Amino acid sequence: MKKALLIILMLTLSFSGKTESGYRLWLRYDPIPNRQLVTSYNNSISGITLSGTSGTISVAKEELINGLQGMLGRKVVATTAVINNSIVAGTPTSSNIISSLALQQQLATAGNEGFVIVTTKSNGKNIIAIAANNDVGVMYGIFHFLRLLQTQQSIKALNIASAPKIKLRVLNHWDNLNRHVERGYAGASIWDWHKLPGYIDQRYIDYARANASIGINGTVLTNVNANALVLTKQYLEKVAALAKVFRPYGIKVYLTARFSAPIEIGKLKTADPLDPQVQQWWKDKVNEIYTYVPDFGGFLVKANSEGQPGPQNYNRNHADGANTLADAVAPHGGIVMWRAFVYSNETPEDRFKQAYNEFKPLDGKFKKNVLIQVKNGPIDFQPREPFSPLFGAMPQTPLMMEFQVTQEYLGQGTNLVYEAPMFKEVLDADTYQKGKGSTVAKVIDGTLHDYSTSGLAGVANIGSDINWTGHLFGQSNWYALGRLAWDHTLTSEQIADEWLKQTFNTNPSFINTAKRIMLGSHEALVNYMTPLGLHHIMGTGHHYGPAPWVSNVGRADWNPVYYHKADEKGIGFDRTNKGSNALAQYAPEVQKQFEDVNTCPEPYLLWFHHVAWDHKMKSGRTLWEELCHKYYSGVDSVRSMQKAWETVKPMVDKERFEHVKMLLAVQEKEAVWWRNACLLYFQTHSKMPIPGGYEQPNQTLEYYKSLSFPFAPGNG
Ligand code: GCW
């Protein structure tokens, strides 16, 4: 009775609103309200026995104990002797019990990081075995087990084997040393460089726990627009302190390497990658880094892109640049992630084509420890982009995917947009490189071309805000990135379901409603921002809000008018063989899908065609009417999201309910702004009315053009 009261008290406290800042992410471990389930869990978990002496085992043990105590509402102690009905975790080397179980077959497929969880018997005792080949796999298994409990699944007859499909599962922080986060919408950088190495913020530990719980095993601490200072002693000491926190959680630290560092901090005259002195400088620098961080992961490099220095400054190519760094880190087992996000100022070529043009000829020229990191989309993280043609074009080079988790072009810090459906759309796209079924996912997980390494990166949305990501639902994107990097066959719905249950509660009515909101949110945003394949029509610099009229920015391809090409005849970028012929960069089967204006899937239409305003769409509407329809339905969707969120009020604590409610109201305003501004502007070209029956814009185009946001966050 007392226990029940205590649980009710704890539940009331957790719903009082005071403690629900969102800080705990999806690792809440609140008491499970379902008594029957708790009894059943208690019956299987009388004790826990973890074998192994590493830091990884000790953090995993702490997590398991905290998690169980929180959820079961009772004390849990670890024992060395196995008792009946208990959890036994370890590797065949660390634990006699694990090695005595016939798990060899499953463990053979678990690799370095995978795990096996089985309900079984050992010496007549009922146990749940969490087994792996390495301690880090044991830790991942424990996090998985805790997820089963948090999502309230049965643990009576477990038989799970899981291994990551992608080897490097990495966050990219675009964080500057002054704590400004480029494209960050959640406050300042979480790395408090000034107080490091002496002060270890609890947040670093919780960051590591959160990442480990979803399988992220690498973090690039610094912005790709890099500062060479991070490679100096003063900062390497700070980097080492972070690496020490992350190490037990299986997370390696990487840094961005500014290509001109040999000049800036090395006092050399050149950074020419083929200059022996430069090569030696990088080797020495790398050796030094490894004295601070013995398991340093390697470098991420943005070179010859948007003003960053690179090998082309010395008439060398990207392979020359990447290989020099790769040679330096290779003896230590390090890697180089070299970005393909390049576009040249001088080349008057369709920007869509430039990365392919530069990198395709270099296929096979990179050292073994180089991965080419390709941004999602040939242009730049737009709300919807066709997959980058590079994914179907470099069979001899491991290609990493770079997704943007932070919502630079997806409503920034104020819009609820669940990105998993967008990630999945690209991962499931077929490159046809080796015939049907050559999906982007198979390219990046290495199975299509048998790459020995593979990677997926996400540009982090994490900052110093109390709830980590600014918008509470931004957490779901961080979560989704990790889960998909581990297993890209998971569905967006499964991931949303897991995240919601762990982050909020398991009430089916709440879950159904919130899941519906999440699953429709990306399409809603596409509709009110860039429907039918429009792209890059947002405000200059900060990229906040619509500005399709902008035509005065220094270089052509920074102007929205370059991308939508609206005129009196129609709208859209002709990338067929009558236009820039970017389509030719895809396999013939992909070209076929997109090349005909009448059969091109409409979500991609204006990516590939300049389409007449009166072109008949599948719906029977003209293009202009369809554009109006999409913009209006985007706003309607946000209004439906608001209504749906209202209905979950009794099922969510006040603080988080209000947080989301207020942001949805902001999102509605922003959606209306996007719709009105874009339609009023495009109307100056189409000369067609917004069909009657729709609420008409309540402001003029001039008004929207006059808006300015000098302090919009995240600007570079
Ligand atoms: O889209 C652009 C962003 C820049 C960013 C760049 C990149 C880090 O607006 O802020 O710089 O992409 O990915 O390198």
In angstroms, the CA 412 to CA 184 distance is: 8
Confidence of residue 460 (pLDDT cuts 50, 70, 90): very high
> What's the pLDDT score for residue 348?
78
Q: Assess whether 408 carries a catalytic annotation.
A: yes
Please state the rounded mean pLDDT for residues 204-218.
99
* Contact predicate 103/114, CB 8 Å: no
User: E-assigned strands of 538-648?
Assistant: 570-571, 611-612
3-state secondary structure of 462: coil
* The residue to which tokens 């087994």 are assigned: 131
3-state secondary structure of 345: coil
pLDDT > 70: percent of the chain: 97
pLDDT in tens, 320-333: 999 999 999 999 99
Confidence of residue 684 (pLDDT cuts 50, 70, 90): very high
Q: Assess whether 380 carries a catalytic annotation.
A: yes
Strands 218-220 and 252-256: parallel
* Contact predicate 182/176, CB 8 Å: yes
Please state the rounded mean pLDDT for residues 187-202.
98
The mean-pLDDT minimum among 7-11, 124-128, 320-324, 438-442 falls in 7-11
The mean-pLDDT minimum among 344-353, 480-489, 672-681 falls in 344-353
In angstroms, the CA 574 to CA 564 distance is: 10
The residues facing 433 across adjacent strands are: 435
* Contact predicate 500/507, CB 8 Å: no
In angstroms, the CA 209 to CA 394 distance is: 35
Phi, psi of 640 (to 5 degrees): -65, -40
3-state secondary structure of 433: strand
Given a cut of 50, is residue 226 above it in pLDDT?
yes
Given a cut of 70, is residue 6 above it in pLDDT?
no
Given a cut of 90, is residue 11 above it in pLDDT?
no
Confidence of residue 556 (pLDDT cuts 50, 70, 90): confident
Question: Sign (positive/negative) of CA torsion 214, 216, 221, 222?
Answer: negative
The CA distances from residue 676 to 521, 534, 544, 618, 699, in Å, are 19, 15, 15, 24, 8
* The residue to which tokens 């002195």 are assigned: 277
- The residue from 380, 497, 595, 655 that is catalytic is 380
Strands 611-612 and 125-131: unpaired
Count of residues in the chain: 716
pLDDT in tens, 298-310: 999 999 999 999 9
In angstroms, the CA 282 to CA 341 distance is: 23
3-state secondary structure of 331: helix
* Contact predicate 614/622, CB 8 Å: yes
Strands 115-122 and 159-162: antiparallel
Confidence of residue 113 (pLDDT cuts 50, 70, 90): very high
> What's the pLDDT score for residue 22?
98
In angstroms, the CA 260 to CA 324 distance is: 13
In angstroms, the CA 552 to CA 298 distance is: 40
| CA 366 to centroid of ligand 1, rounded, Å | 24
The mean-pLDDT minimum among 16-30, 400-414, 569-583 falls in 16-30
Topology (CATH) of 22-162? Chitobiase; domain 2 (3.30.379)
* Contact predicate 297/252, CB 8 Å: yes
| CA 459 to centroid of ligand 1, rounded, Å | 10
The domain limits of the chain are 22-162, 168-490, 527-573+610-706
> What's the pLDDT score for residue 699?
98
Ligand 1 lining (C-beta closer than 6 Å): 174, 182-183, 224-225, 302, 306, 341, 380, 716
In angstroms, the CA 176 to CA 163 distance is: 34
Phi, psi of 489 (to 5 degrees): -90, -10
Confidence of residue 344 (pLDDT cuts 50, 70, 90): confident
Q: Which helix (H) or strand (E) holds 474?
A: helix 474-486
Q: Mutate which of 175, 225, 540 to test ligand 1's pocket (most atoms within 8 Å of Cβ)?
A: 225
> What's the pLDDT score for residue 16?
42
Given a cut of 50, is residue 9 above it in pLDDT?
no
> What's the pLDDT score for residue 667?
99
- Eight-class DSSP state of 181: B
Q: Assess whether 306 carries a catalytic annotation.
A: yes
- The residue from 62, 237, 288, 306 that is catalytic is 306
Instruction: Please give the mean pLDDT across all residues of the chain.
Output: 96
User: What residue type is assigned to position 17 of the chain?
Assistant: G
Q: Which helix (H) or strand (E) holds 204?
A: helix 202-213
In angstroms, the CA 99 to CA 91 distance is: 7
Please state the rounded mean pLDDT for residues 259-272.
98
| CA 182 to centroid of ligand 1, rounded, Å | 8
The mean-pLDDT minimum among 2-6, 119-123, 287-291, 676-680 falls in 2-6
Q: Which CATH number fits domain 527-573+610-706: 3.40.50.620, 3.40.718.10, 3.65.10.10, 3.90.1330.10?
A: 3.90.1330.10
* The residue to which tokens 């593979």 are assigned: 454
* Contact predicate 436/428, CB 8 Å: no
| CA 380 to centroid of ligand 1, rounded, Å | 8
In angstroms, the CA 333 to CA 335 distance is: 7
The CA distances from residue 366 to 304, 363, 415, 448, in Å, are 17, 7, 40, 18
Given a cut of 80, is residue 629 above it in pLDDT?
yes
Given a cut of 70, is residue 659 above it in pLDDT?
yes
Spacing of C-alpha 699 from chain mean position: 36
In angstroms, the CA 600 to CA 426 distance is: 17
pLDDT > 90: percent of the chain: 96
Q: How are the residues of the chain apportioned to helix, strand and coil, as percentages rounded to the nearest 5?
A: 45, 10, 45
**For domain 168-490, is the CATH number 3.20.20.80?**
yes
> What's the pLDDT score for residue 8?
46
* Contact predicate 51/100, CB 8 Å: no
In angstroms, the CA 327 to CA 320 distance is: 11
Atom in ligand 1 nearest the alpha carbon of residue 308: 14
Atom in ligand 1 nearest the alpha carbon of residue 381: 1
Greater confidence (2 vs 142) lies with 142
3-state secondary structure of 634: helix
With 0.75 as the threshold, say if the pTM is over it.
Answer: yes
Residue 56: burial class (beta carbons within 10 Å; 0-12, 13-18, 19+):
buried
The mean-pLDDT minimum among 11-25, 314-328, 617-631 falls in 11-25
In angstroms, the CA 63 to CA 85 distance is: 20
Please state the rounded mean pLDDT for residues 198-206.
98
User: E-assigned strands of 460-612?
Assistant: 570-571, 611-612
In angstroms, the CA 566 to CA 533 distance is: 13
